[in-house]
Amino acid sequence: MKNFYPIKFDIKNTIPKNLGRTGILKTPHGEIKTPAFVAVGTLASVKGLSPEDLHILGAQVVLGNTYHLYLQPGEDVVASAGGLGKFMNWQGPTMTDSGGFQVFSLGFAYKKGVSKVAKEAPTEAELEGKEENFSEHSSLVKIDDNGVTFKSHIDGSTHRFTPESSITIQEKLGADMIFAFDECTSPLAQKEYMKKAVARTHKWAKRCLDARTRDDQALFGIVQGGRYKDLREESAKYIASLPFEGFGIGGSFDKDDMKEVVELVNKILPEEKPRHMLGIGEVEDIFEGVQRGVDLFDCVLPTRLARHGVLFTKEGKYNIKKTTNKEKFEKVVKDCECYTCKNYTKAYLHHLHRSGEMLAHRLSSIHNLYFMMELMENIRRSIEQGNFAEFKKEFLERYKK
């Protein structure tokens, strides 16, 4: 097999008695200081923001969505533009996911409204006897051992992804870091189905490695297994044995079990390679992930909440749409130095949201992404200075009030 060395990861500082660390992830389009939050630009655009905005906010890396870019505008168009970065005029590092999450989001979750993380773990007794396998019974998605057949959410046309086609599409999209094609199931999935999904993910991982042709892209393997620790351990050991340049930790967690699962996985994965936690963006989860050795996080949460008028603050989430803000002519968040908070009032932002003005989404997204980038910078600093535990305790005590 051809040798691939498209990225280099240097660990700088560690958290005593924990797996957490800071590092420098060197890519063909620049360095990433880790731990880092990855801005999600689903369709080669972080909703409402320009690449220049992202740079000013301190974003280091942007992730595009393979499924969505395949449907619009098509990977060949992006390739003709010179790849994802040039297409969207982003000068820094880029990533693309594999399209595997759409197996989940267009399958069982599409019908049931289930996310990657279950708030409360169902008991085996509650799940017993259910015939749903949480993915392949959807009218939009059909899964088999060779790939996934799905219908476009745009026009209903039929398409198919395989491990090989996912790699081909991602190579044309041209991101610095790409992911192996996997099956992400619901956190409510029964163990028997999860076993099948893990086995499928492992077979697909090997096929993805065999299919790659570009030596300037890092390929990350994905660990699955849901809330079942024995399956997570099995998956981590197998994926770690393959020559990936980095690793992703797939979703399908129970909220209460996430910490144990992440620690279990990261104790197995090679220490010298970067680890990415897919689709996780809650503040508490980021702290717990960092402590347990996660280097990268991506999630649409900051911009999605922003569009609904929910702002991150150090005292927790704040709903700017509440009527109490109608005549509050004060800084949106008093101790924030983002463009929005330096220039606009609660009353104005409240008015924009209640009036349905597009500017509301932009200004709120600027604030929420600034919050995330500042949080990650402060987390890195606390690790460097040796006081991560104290910083985490103080921050979360204030945030959860």
Write down the domain spans for the chain: 8-299, 307-399
Kind of pairing, strands 147-151 and 246-249?
unpaired
C-alpha 141/C-alpha 322 separation (Å) is: 39
Annotated catalytic, 285?
A: no
**Catalytic pick among 97, 176, 182, 295:** 97
pLDDT of residue 57: 97
C-alpha 152/C-alpha 145 separation (Å) is: 21
**Torsion over CA: 314, 319, 325, 331 (sign):** positive
pLDDT of residue 109: 45
Nearest alpha carbon to residue 382 among 21, 10, 19, 57: 21
CB-CB contact of 105 with 183 (8 Å): no
First to last CA, the chain: 53
Annotated catalytic, 298?
A: yes
**Catalytic pick among 176, 257, 295, 298:** 298
Phi, psi of 357 (to 5 degrees): -75, 140
pLDDT of residue 134: 41
* Bridge partners (DSSP) listed for residue 27: 30
CB-CB contact of 269 with 237 (8 Å): no
| Residue ranges of the chain whose pLDDT lies below 50 | 1, 108-114, 120-137
Question: Which tokens in the block code for residue 349?
Answer: 């932002």
Residue 16: Cβ-neighbour burial (10 angstroms; 0-12, 13-18, 19+): exposed
Token look-up 């910078």 returns 377
pLDDT of residue 132: 42
Does the global pTM surpass 0.85?
yes
Instruction: Say what angle helices 283-291 and 258-268 make with each other, to 10 degrees.
Output: 30
3-state DSSP of the chain: CCCCCCCEEEEEEECCCCCCEEEEEEECCEEEEECEEEEECCCCCCCCCCHHHHHHHCCCCEEECHHHHHHCCCHHHHHHCCCHHHHHCCCCCEEECCCCHHHHHCCHHHHHCCCCEECCCCCHHHHCCCCCCCCCCCCCEEEECCEEEEECCCCCCEEEECHHHHHHHHHHHCCCEEECCCCCCCCCCCHHHHHHHHHHHHHHHHHHHHHCCCCCCEEEEEECCCCCHHHHHHHHHHHHCCCCCEEEECCCEECCCHHHHHHHHHHHCCCCCCEEECCCCCHHHHHHHHHCCCCEEECCHHHHHHHCCEEEECCEEEECCCHHHCCCCCECCCCCCCHHHHHCEHHHHHHHHHHCCHHHHHHHHHHHHHHHHHHHHHHHHHHHHCCHHHHHHHHHHHHCC
Residue 391: Cβ-neighbour burial (10 angstroms; 0-12, 13-18, 19+): middle
The fold of the 8-299 domain, in CATH, is: TIM Barrel (3.20.20)
C-alpha 396/C-alpha 391 separation (Å) is: 8
pLDDT of residue 355: 98
pLDDT of residue 103: 56
The Cα-based distances of 256 to 190, 222, 259 in angstroms read 18, 21, 7
